[in-house]
Amino acid sequence: MTESQSPPRAGKNAFFFVIVAVVLNMISFGIIMPVMPDLLEELTGQPAESAVLEAGLLSATFAVANFLAMPILGGLSDAYGRRPVLLASIGMLGIDLLIMGLAPTLGILFLGRFLGGMFSATYSVANAYIADVTEPEERGRAFGMMGAAFGIGFILGPVFGGFLGDIDTRLPFFVAAGFAAVNFAYGFFVLPESLKPEDRRPFNLARANPFGAFKHFVKLPKVAWFIVAIGLFQIAHAVYPATWNFHGDIRYGWNASQIGWSLGAVGVGSAISQALLTGYLIKRLGPMRAAFFGLSVNVVAMILFSLAGAPWMAYAVITVSALGGVAMPAINTITSTLTPRNAQGELQGAQASVMAGTLIFSPILMTSTLSAFSAREESYFIAYFPGAAFLLAAIFILLAMIPFLIGVRMNRKDIVKTDVPAPDPIPDQVA
């Protein structure tokens, strides 16, 4: 009754609940990043230049599980609601962190990552949740605030992780598990359901498996082009989680605290940019132009990161890269606008499957590039260039612009309805 009659008011409150849940979740994730080089060096007995290869395989293991499970969880959220899937995801994150913190061997560490990947639905289901409780014209700002929530998590998590990591390498994992437990309790007692019964659809395994999701969106080429662009962009973006901590260790000699502070700076830039600029840019430029602007800034930032030979240069480029955070919220605005309300979970699940699919090999690609170009021994074929992975990322973003522009061309009539810069819409009568 009230729920179906006044969704906007309930939706706005629920939206802020999800933002807080995402912040807590990202603190749990970011807190372990500064200590991963030390942990892998401890478990493998290898220097950072070699241990980084294990980091790539660890990320790929997470991605394989994520790729297989994500569309199933997205489909389940369309059938049974977003809340139970979010709670299951958050609860499993806590278990994953405990397993990793206690891991006596590299094999147990891989097991923890696989289990975490199976239940890591927070981002895609949270995006579907936001699509449930916002109107199409409000989604650019809403997705921008999601990005800001990620940024806040990356401000607090890595800084705490670096500080705790200087005390003990394993301590951040246990503290992160505590954050996940708080997040679970918060969601259990506070988070309402966002998907009304009349907007749900029966669960269909054929559409909910990762390959079924690809097949479904191949039938919708207008949306599929944007998903391909997201996939290529994700390959490039993997350079951050896969190599940033090891890159700082190898190139600048950073310890856990310094890695944490650098990641915190990335989070500050992301939070400020997305909280203050992303919604404005999408509304002012429209999602098409805002997305193209974001992709272009990311290309420039990756090239500059590859050339940053000193720590102060890396910090300077962080301010530039923050502006590129508008790209994904703008593309999400486009794809969610072109998708029916009762298929938003499937859309986000399919997008997440593509992203997870690229993450099966992209961390290995990026960490292998870093390892090969940071080897201290002289090589006739490979020069010492530890920024090579960022240059490779710039190339992939340039490739992502091709399917993005094709998608824009195919969808121009549909997107232009929400793509007119405010506050001066183009009159329908203008020839």
Cβ atoms of 248 and 36 closer than 8 Å: no
> How many other C-beta atoms are found inside a 10 Å radius of the C-beta of residue 138?
18
pLDDT tens for each residue of 157-193: 888 888 898 899 999 889 888 888 887 887 788 777 8
Which residues contact residue 102 at a Cβ distance below 8 angstroms, ignoring those fewer than 6 apart? 108, 170
> Is the confidence at residue 40, as pLDDT, over 80?
yes
d(CA 24, CA 11): 20
pLDDT at 125: 77
Inside any domain, residue 145 = yes
Q: Which residue has the higher pLDDT, 151 or 278?
A: 278
In this structure, the number of other CB atoms found within 10 A of the CB of residue 424 comes to: 7
**Which residue did the predictor score with more confidence, 302 or 65?**
302
Whether residue 2 is contained in a domain is answered as no
334 contacts 222 by C-beta, under 8 angstroms: no
Q: What CATH number is given to the structural domain containing 144?
A: 1.20.1250.20
DSSP 8-state secondary structure symbol assigned to residue 249:
I
Q: What is the pLDDT of residues 277-325, one digit of tens each?
A: 888 888 888 888 999 999 999 999 999 999 999 999 999 999 899 889 8
What's at 49, amino acid-wise? E
CA angle 141, 145, 148 (to 5 degrees): 140
Determine the structural domain holding residue 88 and report its residue range. 8-194+208-415
Residue 184 belongs to some domain of the structure: yes
pLDDT at position 206 is: 67
Q: Is residue 429 part of a domain?
A: no
The verdict on residue 428 lying in a domain is: no
- Give yes or no for a contact between 183 and 55, defined as CB atoms under 8 angstroms apart: no
In a domain, 200, yes or no: no
Residue 202: the pLDDT is: 78
In a domain, 1, yes or no: no
376: pLDDT strictly greater than 70: no
Give the model's confidence band at 88: pLDDT under 50 very low, under 70 low, under 90 confident, else very high: confident
In a domain, 425, yes or no: no
Other C-beta atoms closer than 10 Å to the C-beta of 381 total 5
Q: How many domains does the chain have?
A: 1
Q: Is the dihedral of CA 42, 45, 47, 53 positive or negative?
A: negative
Distance (Å) of CA 19 to CA 186, 191, 430: 12, 11, 40
